[in-house]
Amino acid sequence: MAYYPKLTQRATSRQIVDTFAGYNHNLKIRDGEFFDTKNMTTQHYPMLANRGKRGRLDRSFTKLQAIIAKDALYWVDNGTLYANGYATGLTGLQTEKETQLVSMGAYICIFPDKKYINTQDLSDYGSMGAEWSYTGAVTYTMCHQDGTYYTDVTKSADAPENPANGAIWIDITNNVVREYSVYTETWTVLETVYTRVDFLTMGQLVTAFKEYDGINISGAYFEDLNGSKILYAVGGDPVTSYDYVVLIGIQEEQYTQTGANIRFSRKVPDMDYVCEAQNRLWGCFYGNDGTQNINEVYCCALGDFRNWEQYLGVSTDSWRASRGSDGPWTGCINYLGTPTFFKENVIHPVSVSSVGAHQIGDIPARGVQQCSHKSLCVVNETLYYKSRTGVVAYQGGMPADISQALGEEKYYSAVAGVFGQRYYISMKDSGNMWHLFVFDAGKGLWMHEDNTHAECFAQVGDELYAVVANGITALNGTEGTPEGDFEWSCTSGVLTYEYPDRKYLSRFNIRVNMGIGSGFRMFIEYDSSGTWNYAGYFHLPVTGTVTIPVRPRRCDHLRIKFLGHGDIRMYSIARILEKGSDV
């Protein structure tokens, strides 16, 4: 009877990764994370999957400057505002500086042009500010607040005899104006004296200004009428009546100025960044206006983006305040109803008061990085933005870093957009290479998509649009011409270096589902050699699921890379370990 030698079966064990946790660009990462990714997504988490195809709007642009989401997509191309692809009458916008589009109700406000358009009535557009000048005769007359003249005015040292009810006495002895009441038989001092200023024009003022506008006046004969003023009434008709305004003014019955040269202006301040909050526009400016250094925050009158110097002493007034913090402003946003302003090392939230006594807070914390103001976005009631040290999440207290997975690389000039729970951020590295990252706020996972340089984002309905290479890309692919097949890839961190007890990796079992025409190649780098060794090409002729065995050679440690095209859903990677010798 013959006896054969017995073979000792090697002890094996199996480790399965069936949860893929996205991008982590650090030297030591967890199982299921990838040191580098391209065109992958967390949308099908916990599976590893490629992103969907994007769309490119079938439209050519001359110089695409900005986009904004309203009832449709609006954009500025070479100085003209377009509504869903159709040119509006708002043309001649500047093309040299960055264009900011800010939504306020039905309106879009455009900076630095200081223009507006009504999206519900595209024929309603123009300048927020106004300028008007006049040369000629001007008449100044005391009047009621609504502009009607007083019918019985006397200017004297003594009270008029037998005055009628409502008679006006300009008391030159005490330098006051009094009104007579037959019911009390007394002369009551008028606390506020109004002056009607009449011009020899028809219908010009009513098209440029309105009641309660805050304006600046120069050239009036009486110095008390020059400077910052409120228009308490504006009148004039193109056919039947001359233009006039009513101001808080002088104690004169009537005076005519000949050869006057008067100028009215309603000004909108220069602002670095602008946002809308609580039915006001809020802005900030840091710099020199030609006469003084300015470091201020502004807001317009309630519901009126045209008025930034309306000071009536009521809660709806315009408002401005200086700040003592150092450095230029780096961004602003409406965060949960609070206008919040940023510098690189300070956060300035504004407490909006119902009585107009607004207050600015000072939080010494990581603010927005210079040139990254477009990274400010709110996802699930949390504010995300790019600080100098990384991407942070802010909830009203202290910002928390969420970008540890991005590694040690420094990024700059960030621009971001939001779709659902995903925060898209495009930024360049220290080598001026652009990268598009996606942070899934619901899952807390990052993914590097590709090297797209997005200049701005806007979400309309179920689509997130981005300005890319002087065109508009639909990132979800619901519109436009779909892109062609693209290559995706993912590279693991270092594997097997943690195995003790003479274990080595004998086989991978990869379980995947691939679409028709899809396929991928696998590469293995052994012992940090820098050389990627081809390990096979895998595809299916039809849609289906398959388990792919891959046998690496014995080594101390390794990395794997998948490089593919088409749709893939990877369910798991199983590592089969065997016990070997010490050599």
CA-angle at 430, arms to 487 and 393, nearest 5°: 85
Structure tokens at 104: 């306020």
Q: What is the pLDDT of residue 517?
A: 86
* CB contact at 8 A, 38 and 449: yes
Domain boundaries, the chain: 12-53+489-579, 130-266
* Bridge partner residues of 177 (DSSP): 170
Q: What is the pLDDT of residue 580?
A: 58
Q: Using CB atoms within 10 A of its CB, is residue 431 exposed (0-12), middle (13-18) or buried (19+)? A: exposed
Which of 412, 388, 410 has the alpha carbon at shortest distance from 399? 388
The whole-angstrom separation of Cα 481 and Cα 471 is 12
* Sole residue written with tokens 């016990």: 579
Q: How far apart are the first and last CA of the chain?
A: 38
Q: What is the pLDDT of residue 215?
A: 96
The whole-angstrom distance between residue 401's C-alpha and the CA centroid of its chain comes to: 20
Q: What is the pLDDT of residue 151?
A: 86
Q: What is the pLDDT of residue 43?
A: 93
pLDDT in tens, 301-354: 999 999 999 999 999 999 999 999 999 999 999 999 999 999 999 999 999 999
Q: What is the pLDDT of residue 557?
A: 85
Residue ranges, the chain, pLDDT below 50: 583
Answer CATH for 12-53+489-579 from 2.60.120.260, 3.30.70.120, 3.30.420.40, 2.40.50.110: 2.60.120.260
Q: What is the pLDDT of residue 353?
A: 93
**Is 3.10.20.600 the CATH number for 130-266?**
no
